[in-house]
C-alpha cells in the first residue's frame, strides 16, 4: 500500500493508514495533519490524495465537504490506488457528494475487487442482495460474500452477511447451524451485529443448544459497542434473572443508556 519515496510514505502514515510507532507527527493536530497531507496530495501522491478525501468526508482537520472528498478520491483512483476506487464507489452508492449512481458504484467496486480488495467484494454482494445496479440475486450475493471472506478472513462484514443468508435461507438452503457458525466468526472479529445475532441464537436455542450464559456474554459484548438492541435484551435478562441473579439496578442502568 505504500508508494513513492520514503519521505512521502512517512507523510502518508500520518494520514490514518500508517504505522503505530510514536513519532512527532502523531502529536500534530488534525488541522496540521490535513495541511501536511494536502501538500503531498497536490504533488500527486495517490495515498495522500485518498487520505485527503477521507478527511474531507469525515471533517477531520477541515470543514466537511463530500464534493471535495469525491474530487480527491477520483484523483487517487485515476492513479490506480485501490482504496480510493472503493471509497469513490461508496460515494456513488450512497449519493454523497455526487448524484447517486448504482451502476457506476458497481463498476468501481468491481475494479477494486479485481485487484483483490475484500471490502469491495463484500459490497458487490450487498448490491446483488439489494438489487442495486444489478438484478437482485441472492446466490450471487452469497458468492461475493464468500470471496470477500476468503480474501480477508479478518474482515467481519461477510461473516455477518453470510449468517443472515443462512438464517433466512436466501441464496442458500436455510441452515441455522451454519448461520451460528458465521455469526460466531463475525462476533469473534468484533462485529456488534454478529454478536447480537449470535446471542439471540443462544437465547432462543436456534441452531445451537440454548445457553443463557453465552447469550449473556454476547449480548454484553454487543452492548459494550453501543448496540441498543443488545442493551435492551441484556436489561431483560437482568430483570428476569435469566441465567444470572436478578438485578434491577443493572436493568435500569441499561434501559437508561
- Residue 170, C-alpha cell as written in the block: 436466501
State whether 87 and 170 are in the same domain: no
Question: Looking at 100, 116, 145, which one is the last position of a domain?
Answer: 100
Distance, first Cα to last Cα, the chain: 40
Please state the rounded mean pLDDT for residues 180-198. 98
- Residue 176, C-alpha cell as written in the block: 441455522
Q: Name the residue with cell 443462544.
A: 202
Q: Kindly state the DSSP code that residue 26 receives in the 8-state scheme.
A: G
Q: Kindly state the DSSP code that residue 59 receives in the 8-state scheme.
A: T
- Residue 124, C-alpha cell as written in the block: 458487490
Kindly report the backbone phi and psi dihedral angles of residue 208, in degrees, each rounded to the nearest multiple of 5, phi listed first.
-160, 155
Would you place residue 199 in the very low, low, confident or very high pLDDT band (cuts 50, 70, 90)? very high
State whether 96 and 160 are in the same domain: no
Instruction: Indicate whether 180 belongs to any domain.
Output: yes
Kindly report the backbone phi and psi dihedral angles of residue 195, in degrees, each rounded to the nearest multiple of 5, phi listed first.
-60, -45
Would you place residue 246 in the very low, low, confident or very high pLDDT band (cuts 50, 70, 90)? low
State whether 85 and 163 are in the same domain: no
CB of 29 closer than 8 Å to CB of 60: no
Q: What is the SS3 string spanning 165-188?
A: HHHHCCCCCCCHHHHHHHHHHHHH
Residue 142 to residue 162: CA distance in whole angstroms: 7
Instruction: Indicate whether 48 belongs to any domain.
Output: yes
**Domain extent at residue 56:** 1-100
- Residue 21, C-alpha cell as written in the block: 510507532
The CATH number that applies at residue 77 is 1.25.40.10
Burial (CB count <10 Å: 0-12, 13-18, 19+), residue 74: middle
Residue 199 to residue 194: CA distance in whole angstroms: 8
Instruction: Indicate whether 147 belongs to any domain.
Output: no
Instruction: Indicate whether 255 belongs to any domain.
Output: yes
Q: Kindly state the DSSP code that residue 206 receives in the 8-state scheme.
A: S
What's the confidence (pLDDT) of residue 238? Answer: 80
Q: Give the count of beta carbons closer than 10 Å to the beta carbon of residue 139.
A: 11
pLDDT over 90 (residue 218): yes
Would you place residue 9 in the very low, low, confident or very high pLDDT band (cuts 50, 70, 90)? very low
Q: How far is CA 218 from CA 117, 153, 198, 222, 230, in A?
A: 29, 21, 7, 6, 8
CB of 131 closer than 8 Å to CB of 141: no
**The pTM is what?**
0.83
Instruction: Indicate whether 143 belongs to any domain.
Output: no
State whether 166 and 79 are in the same domain: no
Question: Looking at 100, 119, 142, which one is the last position of a domain?
Answer: 100
Instruction: Indicate whether 142 belongs to any domain.
Output: no
Q: Name the residue with cell 478525501.
A: 53
Q: Tell me: the pLDDT tens digits for 100-155?
A: 999 999 999 999 999 999 999 999 999 999 999 999 999 999 999 999 999 999 99
How many domains, the chain? 2
Residue 133 to residue 76: CA distance in whole angstroms: 24
State whether 91 and 179 are in the same domain: no
Residue 184: closest CA among 192, 174, 173, 195: 195
Please state the rounded mean pLDDT for residues 183-199. 98
CA geometry: angle at 194 spanning 212 and 169, to 5°? 100
Instruction: Indicate whether 108 belongs to any domain.
Output: no
State whether 82 and 175 are in the same domain: no
Please give the residue that has the higher pLDDT: either 24 or 243: 243
Q: Give the count of beta carbons closer than 10 Å to the beta carbon of residue 96.
A: 14
Would you place residue 240 in the very low, low, confident or very high pLDDT band (cuts 50, 70, 90)? confident
Question: Looking at 100, 126, 146, which one is the last position of a domain?
Answer: 100
Would you place residue 36 in the very low, low, confident or very high pLDDT band (cuts 50, 70, 90)? very high
Q: Tell me: the pLDDT tens digits for 55-70?
A: 999 999 999 999 999 9
CB of 163 closer than 8 Å to CB of 176: no
Instruction: Indicate whether 133 belongs to any domain.
Output: no
State whether 178 and 257 are in the same domain: yes
State whether 80 and 173 are in the same domain: no
Amino acid at each position: 500500500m505504500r508508494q513513492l519515496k520514503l519521505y512521502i510514505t512517512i507523510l502518508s502514515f500520518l494520514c490514518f493508514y500508517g504505522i503505530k510507532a510514536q513519532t512527532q507527527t502523531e502529536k500534530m493536530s488534525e488541522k496540521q495533519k490535513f495541511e501536511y497531507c494536502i501538500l503531498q496530495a497536490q504533488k500527486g501522491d495517490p495515498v495522500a490524495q485518498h487520505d485527503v478525501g477521507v478527511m474531507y468526508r469525515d471533517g477531520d482537520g477541515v470543514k466537511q465537504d463530500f464534493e471535495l472528498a469525491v474530487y480527491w478520491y477520483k484523483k487517487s483512483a485515476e492513479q490506480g490506488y485501490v482504496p480510493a476506487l472503493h471509497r469513490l464507489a461508496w460515494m456513488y452508492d450512497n449519493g454523497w457528494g455526487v448524484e447517486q449512481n448504482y451502476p457506476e458504484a458497481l463498476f468501481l467496486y468491481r475494479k477494486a475487487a479485481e485487484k483483490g480488495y475484500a471490502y469491495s467484494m463484500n459490497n458487490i454482494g450487498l448490491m446483488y442482495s439489494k438489487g442495486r445496479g444489478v438484478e437482485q440475486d441472492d446466490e450471487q450475493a452469497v458468492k461475493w460474500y464468500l470471496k470477500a471472506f476468503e480474501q480477508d478472513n479478518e474482515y467481519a462484514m461477510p461473516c455477518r452477511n453470510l449468517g443472515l443468508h443462512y438464517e433466512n435461507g436466501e441464496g442458500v438452503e436455510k441452515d441455522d447451524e451454519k448461520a451460528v457458525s458465521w455469526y460466531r466468526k463475525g462476533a469473534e472479529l468484533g462485529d456488534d451485529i454478529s454478536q447480537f445475532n449470535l446471542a439471540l441464537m443462544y437465547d432462543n436455542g436456534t441452531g445451537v443448544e440454548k445457553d443463557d450464559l453465552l447469550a449473556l456474554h454476547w449480548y454484553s459484548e454487543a452492548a459494550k459497542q453501543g448496540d441498543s438492541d443488545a442493551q435492551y435484551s441484556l436489561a431483560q435478562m437482568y430483570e428476569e434473572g435469566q441465567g444470572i441473579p436478578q438485578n434491577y439496578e443493572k436493568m435500569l442502568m441499561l434501559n437508561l443508556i
